Amino acid sequence: MNFGEILLMMFTAILVENFIFSRFYGICPFLGVSSQPDTALGMGLAVTFVITISSAVTWAVYEFLLLPFELDFLKTIAFILVIAALVQFIEMFLRKFIPSLYASLGIYLPLITTNCAVLSSALLNVQNGYGFIESVCFGLAASLGFTLAIVVFAGVRARLRDAKPPKSFEGFPLTLIAAGLLAMAFAGFSGVRF
Amino acid sequence: MKQFIKQLKNGLIDQNPVLVQLLGMCPTLATTTSVDNALGMGLAATAVLICSNVMISLLRKLIPSQVRIAAYIVIISGFVTAVELLMRAYFYPLYQSLGLFIPLIVVNCIILARAEAFASKNRVLPSAVDGLSMGLGFTLALVLVATVRELLGMGTLMGVRILPEALSMTFFILPCGAFVTLGFVIAAVQKLRSHRAKKAADDHDGEVDA
């Protein structure tokens, strides 16, 4: 891939095939941690951090470990272990060397192991046959799309708090319907094809 | 036996993992475009849930509690890989239409939640029944959402045409329709639950008066 193609792939991953609104990866943190805009931003940045690094590491694991030994059917197990170890490692590293960043991201990090956005971006890299640079760029773009979605949605939810819906729609159903409306806005990008 | 029926009812209705506990949202939104897909996804997750519950229950005294989450994830991903390979061998069209969501069963919070909350504390047989009932509850919720979406979006049910094509609304098949449909289904469940709770409270008051 040349530079233009990579840019195009990143644009597609952020807006057209947004992880939340068109592919449904990472819905749990999207619904769970989006009640305040600043915590949403913290979660988004933590996810971006982990996905970008894990894209690089899982690419290396797949290329140098699984493929040479013909173990690629074990990729789900291998990737989830790599991700769990990586999250643990990043947490320890941040606590020791960048305490200010740890203080703002720390509480979100353990949740990320079970965030399906991380595992699915690693698996998508393999499925699409991306090289090292493409994998990292795709991971970065996909997680930026996640961050965009969760921050925008936190803004919407801040306004929803003053709403007075019918009793059975209070809480989760109202949140889901608001997410549906936002997804409709993002569906507009699906017309953008190159 | 009574205990098992109670567990089954708990998983299907009272503590339904999707509609009441609000877990496992990603596959609920993504794989409910048709009833076939929803059924396939639900049963695949049920199989994994039963196997992982049994295995974790068998090993519950051997797994040190500090590394238990990592151990659960390894056990679960082993079974998920087995299910994935079986589906690729015997149900190839379904395998293709579910795509990445089969390996993503690994990070489905329902399975980890049952491992942590039930299988790690109970004997093998109740854990297997718990896996079965929670899995069937998950399947039920998926099929419920998929029925609405397939019927309104394409006018078909399991590929059989029910409504004329002119009445189908593509909106329900699109991602935005998934969020809105699930929102309405959960609202309906909350309505039913509050209705039942009120009725039970009324009955209780009646008994006190009598």
How confident is the model at residue B209, as a pLDDT? 47
Regions of chain B with pLDDT less than 50 = 209-210
Structural domain of residue A28, as residue ranges? 12-188
Nearest to B81 among A31, A74, A124 (CB): A74
Q: Closest residue of A to B24, CA-based?
A: A28
pLDDT digits (tens, 9 = 90+) for A89-111: 888 888 888 888 788 776 777 77
**Contact B25/A31, CB-based, under 8 Å?**
yes
How many Cβ atoms sit within 10 Å of the Cβ of residue B1?
5
Overall domain count for chain B: 1
How confident is the model at residue A60, as a pLDDT? 95
Overall domain count for chain A: 1
- Classify residue A4: in a domain, yes or no: no
On the 0-12 / 13-18 / 19+ scale of CB atoms within 10 A, B114 is buried
Q: Per residue of chain A (194 residues), give pLDDT as tens.
A: 788 899 999 998 998 889 999 889 988 888 888 888 888 888 888 899 899 999 999 999 999 999 999 888 899 999 999 998 888 888 888 888 888 878 877 677 777 887 889 999 999 999 999 999 999 999 999 999 999 999 999 999 988 888 888 888 988 899 999 999 999 998 888 877 65
Nearest to B109 among A81, A114, A183 (CB): A114
Q: Which two tokens stand for residue A87?
A: 């999250």
How confident is the model at residue B123, as a pLDDT? 92
- Classify residue A38: in a domain, yes or no: yes
- Classify residue A3: in a domain, yes or no: no
Structural domain of residue B34, as residue ranges? 2-209
Q: Which two tokens stand for residue A125?
A: 């890299």
Grouping H, G, I as helix, E, B as strand and the rest as coil, residue A192 is coil
Across the A:B interface, residue pairs with CB atoms under 8 Å apart total: 114
How confident is the model at residue B210, as a pLDDT? 43
Nearest to B180 among A31, A170, A177 (CB): A177
On the 0-12 / 13-18 / 19+ scale of CB atoms within 10 A, B93 is exposed
Q: What is the ipTM of this complex?
A: 0.88
- Residue spans of alpha helices (H) in chain A: 3-11, 27-32, 37-61, 75-97, 99-105, 109-112, 116-127, 132-160, 172-187
- Classify residue A19: in a domain, yes or no: yes
Residue B20 at interface with chain A, using a CB cutoff of 8 Å: no
How confident is the model at residue A116, as a pLDDT? 87
- Classify residue A5: in a domain, yes or no: no
- Classify residue A125: in a domain, yes or no: yes
**Contact B178/A24, CB-based, under 8 Å?**
yes
Q: How far apart are CA A136 and CA A9, in angstroms?
A: 12
Chain A positions contacting chain B at CB under 8 Å are: 21-28, 31, 73-74, 76-77, 80-81, 84, 113-116, 119-120, 123-124, 127, 166-170, 172-177, 179-181, 183-184, 186-187
Nearest to A173 among B70, B73, B184 (CB): B184
Q: Which amino acid is at B13?
A: I
Percent of chain A, pLDDT > 90? 47
pLDDT digits (tens, 9 = 90+) for B149-196: 999 998 888 888 888 888 888 889 899 999 999 999 999 999 998 888
Residue B63 at interface with chain A, using a CB cutoff of 8 Å: no
On the 0-12 / 13-18 / 19+ scale of CB atoms within 10 A, B148 is middle
Nearest to B187 among A168, A179, A186 (CB): A168
**Contact B175/A183, CB-based, under 8 Å?**
yes
Residues of A with CB below 8 A from B180's CB?
176-177, 180-181
